[in-house]
C-alpha cells in the first residue's frame, strides 16, 4: 500500500500542480502580416514601322481601365510601394512617353513622363516610390484607369540600323500590404 500511496501522490501531484505559465495574448494585436508583393504591371511595344506609319507625331494614345490598385484588398491594405519602369528605344527617333493615372471621374491624379533619345540609347530605368518616402499612396489607391501616350519627336521616314527597331516599356509594381 505504500507503493500505491506513492503512485497516487505522484499522479495527484502532477494533476493538481498542473499550471500554465503566464501568457500575454495581447500580443495578438501587435501581429503585423505585411508581405512585399511584386507583379508585372504594363508592357507596351511599338515597332518603328508603326511609328513611321502614323500621319501625326502621336503614335499611341489609349486609355484603359486599370483596377489593380483600387481592388479593395490592395486599396485598404497598401502601406508603401514603388512602380519600376524600364524603357528601351531602338528606333531612330527621340520619343516622349506619358503615363497618366486617372481616377473614376477621369481626373488626372499623376503623370509620369519619359524622354528617350534615338538609338543607340541606354535602357532607361526608373523607380517611382509611393508612400511615406515618396508620392502619396492615394494616387495609386484612387487610380482606376491609365492613359498611355507616345509622341514621336523626330521624323517619320528614317529607319534605325538596329535589328527589329522598336520602342518597349516594361513595368512592375512592388508594394507592401497589411493583411492584419
Partner 1 sequence: MKLWLRCFLAFFAGLTPLMGQHRPLLYDFTEIPQSLLLNPGAAHESQWYAGVPLLSGVSLRAGSSGITVQDLFADDGLDINDKIRERAINGLQPGDEVSATLQMELLSGGFRGKRRPDDFYSFGVYTEVDAINYWPRDLAILAWEGNADQLGRRFNLGHLKTRGEMLNVFHFGINRKVSERLILGVRAKIFSGIFQFQSTRNRGYFVTTQGENNLLANTLSSQMGLQSSGLEGLRRELSADGADQGAVLQDFLVRRGFFGGDLGFGADLGFTYTLKPRLVLTGSLLDLGFMVHASDVRNFTLEGTATSEGVEIILPDSLADPDADFWQDLVDEIEALVPFEEDAKTYVALRPTKLYASLRYNLGGTPPPKGPCDCDYRTSRPLKEQPYSSAFGAQLFMVNRPRGPQAALTAFYQKRFGNALAIKASYTADKFSLTNIGLGFNLQAGPLELYVLADNLLAYRNLANAHTASLQFGLNILSWGRN
Please give the residue ranges that form the binding site for partner 1 (CB under 8 A). Answer: 1, 4, 7-8, 10-11, 14-15, 17-25, 27-33, 35-47, 50, 53, 59-60, 62, 64-68, 84, 86, 148, 168, 170-172, 174, 176-177, 179-180
How many Å apart are CA 62 and CA 106, to the nearest integer?
13
Please say which residue, 31 or 105, places its beta carbon nearer to partner 1: 31
CB of 172 to partner 1, least distance (A): 5
CB of 15 to partner 1, least distance (A): 6
CB of 31 to partner 1, least distance (A): 6
Residues 6+ apart with CB under 8 A from 66: 42, 143, 144, 145, 146
Q: Cβ distance 120 to 65 under 8 Å?
A: no
How many Å apart are CA 34 and CA 79, to the nearest integer?
8
CB of 81 to partner 1, least distance (A): 10
Please say which residue, 31 or 133, places its beta carbon nearer to partner 1: 31
Please say which residue, 87 or 119, places its beta carbon nearer to partner 1: 87
Please say which residue, 137 or 169, places its beta carbon nearer to partner 1: 169
The backbone region for 109, taken as left when phi is positive above 0, alpha when psi lies in -120 to 50, beta otherwise, is alpha
Please say which residue, 29 or 105, places its beta carbon nearer to partner 1: 29
> Grid cell 482606376 — which residue?
144
How many Å apart are CA 43 and CA 30, to the nearest integer?
39
Q: Are β-strands 145-152 and 58-65 bridged in parallel, bridged antiparallel, or unpaired?
A: antiparallel
Q: Cβ distance 62 to 146 under 8 Å?
A: no
CB of 18 to partner 1, least distance (A): 4
Amino acid at each position: 500500500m505504500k507503493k500505491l500511496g506513492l503512485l497516487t501522490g505522484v499522479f495527484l501531484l502532477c494533476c493538481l500542480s498542473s499550471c500554465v505559465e503566464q501568457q500575454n495574448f495581447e500580443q495578438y494585436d501587435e501581429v503585423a502580416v505585411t508581405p512585399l508583393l511584386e507583379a508585372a504591371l504594363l508592357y507596351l511595344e511599338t515597332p518603328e514601322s508603326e511609328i513611321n506609319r502614323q500621319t501625326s507625331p502621336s503614335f499611341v494614345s489609349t486609355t484603359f481601365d486599370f483596377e489593380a490598385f483600387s481592388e479593395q484588398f490592395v486599396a485598404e491594405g497598401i502601406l508603401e510601394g514603388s512602380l519600376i519602369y524600364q524603357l528601351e528605344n531602338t528606333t531612330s527617333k527621340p520619343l516622349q512617353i506619358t503615363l497618366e493615372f486617372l481616377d473614376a471621374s477621369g481626373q488626372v491624379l499623376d503623370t509620369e513622363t519619359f524622354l528617350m533619345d534615338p538609338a543607340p540609347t541606354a535602357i532607361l530605368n526608373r523607380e517611382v516610390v509611393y508612400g511615406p518616402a515618396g508620392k502619396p499612396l492615394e494616387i495609386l489607391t484612387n487610380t482606376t484607369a491609365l492613359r498611355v501616350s507616345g509622341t514621336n519627336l523626330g521624323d517619320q521616314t528614317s529607319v534605325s540600323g538596329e535589328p527589329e527597331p522598336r520602342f518597349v516599356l516594361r513595368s512592375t509594381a512592388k508594394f507592401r500590404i497589411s493583411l492584419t
